[in-house]
A and B are shown apart, each in its own frame.
Chain A
Amino acid sequence: MIRTAIAGTLLQLLHLLVALAAAPLLLGVTRFAKSRLQSRRGPSPIQPYRDLLRLMRKETVLAHDASWIFRATPYLVFSLMVIAAGMVPMFALDLPLASAGDLIAIVALLATARFFQSLAGLDIGTAFGGIGASRDALIGSLAEPAVLMVAFALALVAGTTALPAIARFVLSGGVGVDVSLALALIALLIVAIAENGRIPVDNPATHLELTMVHEAMVLEYSGRNLALIEAAQMLKLLIFVSLVAALFAPWGLAAGDVLDLLELGGGLLIFLLHLLVGAAVIAIFEVSIAKMRVFRVVEFLGAALILAVLAVVFRFVAEAS
Chain B
Amino acid sequence: MLTLTLLGLLVLLALGVSAPFIRPDRLALRLVHGGVGGVALALGIAAAIRLVAGGEVSELDLPLGLPWMGTHFRLDDLACFFMAAINLAAALVMVFADGYAARQPEPTRALAPLPIFLAACNLVLLANDAFVFLLAWEMMSIASWLLVLANHREDESRHAAYVYLAMASLSVLLLLLAFGALAGIDGDYRFAALREATERPPMATLAVVLAMLGAGAKAGLVPLHVWLPLAHPAAPSHVSALLSGVMVKIALYGLARFLFDLVGAPAWWWGVVLVVAGAASALIGILYALMQRDLKRVLAYSTIENVGVITFALGLSLCFRASELFDLSALALAGALAHALNHALFKSLMFCGAGVILEATHLRDLERMGGLVRRMPYASLFMLMGSLAASSLPPLNGFVSEWLIFQTVFASSALHDNLPRLIVPLMGAVLALSAALAAVAFVRAFGLAFLGRPRSVEAERAVEPGGTMMTGLALLAGGCLLLGVFPVVTLSLAESAAHGVIGVSLPAGAVGWIVLAPLGSGGAAYAGFIVFLALLGLAVGTRPLLARLWAERRRRAAAWDCGFPDASPSTQYTASSFSQPLRRVFGTAFFRARETVDMPAPGDARPARLEIRLIDPAWDWGVEPIRRAVEAATLRLNATQFLSIRRYLSLMFGALVTLLLIVAATQQ
Contact = CB atoms under 8 A, between A and B. Distances in A.
Given A59-B554, A128-B562, A160-B519, A115 B435 contact: no
Interface string A280-306: 000000000000001100100000010
Interface residues of B, number: 88
A135 B581 contact: yes
Interface string B552-584: 111111111110100101011100011111101
A286 to B, nearest CB: 24
Contacts of A222: 560
Interface stretch (A38-46, A149-157, A267-275): A149-157
Given A60-B553, A141-B440, A122 B562 contact: no
B433 A63 contact: no
Given A104-B403, A123-B451, A65 B443 contact: no
B550 A111 contact: no
A162 B332 CA distance: 19
A111 B558 CA distance: 30
A102 B453 contact: no
B130 interface: no
Contacts of B540: 75
Contacts of B562: 128, 209, 219
Interface string A45-62: 000000000001101111
Nearest to B564: A126
B523 A162 contact: yes
Contacts of B561: 124, 126-128, 219-220
B599 interface: no
B555 A59 contact: yes
B535 A80 contact: yes
Given A125-B569, A294-B581, A309-B426, A64 B522 contact: no
B581 A134 contact: yes
Contacts of A143: 436
Nearest to A222: B560
Nearest to A164: B522
A60 B443 CA distance: 26
Contacts of B42: none
Contacts of B584: 295
A108 B399 CA distance: 8
Given A133-B573, A152-B409, A104 B524 contact: yes
A129 B573 contact: yes
Contact of A115 (B393, B519, B578): B393
Given A63-B559, A125-B371, A102 B539 contact: no
B374 interface: yes
Interface of B: 370-371, 373-374, 377, 380, 384, 388, 391-394, 399, 403, 406-407, 409-410, 413, 418, 421-422, 425-426, 428-429, 432-433, 435-437, 439-440, 442-444, 446-448, 450-453, 515, 519, 522-527, 530-531, 534-535, 538-540, 542-543, 546, 549-550, 552-562, 564, 567, 569, 571-573, 577-582, 584-585
Closest 10 CB pairs of A and B: A130-B573, A125-B452, A79-B538, A145-B432, A122-B447, A125-B453, A63-B559, A102-B524, A144-B436, A100-B527
17 contacts: A64-B558, A68-B377, A79-B539, A83-B538, A101-B526, A115-B393, A125-B453, A126-B571, A130-B572, A138-B582, A141-B437, A151-B410, A152-B409, A161-B407, A161-B410, A222-B560, A316-B425
Interface of A: 56-57, 59-69, 72, 75-76, 78-80, 82-83, 86, 97, 99-105, 108-109, 111-112, 114-115, 118-119, 122-131, 133-135, 137-138, 140-145, 148-149, 151-152, 155-156, 159-162, 165, 209, 219-220, 222-224, 228, 294-295, 298, 305, 308-309, 312-313, 315-316, 319-320
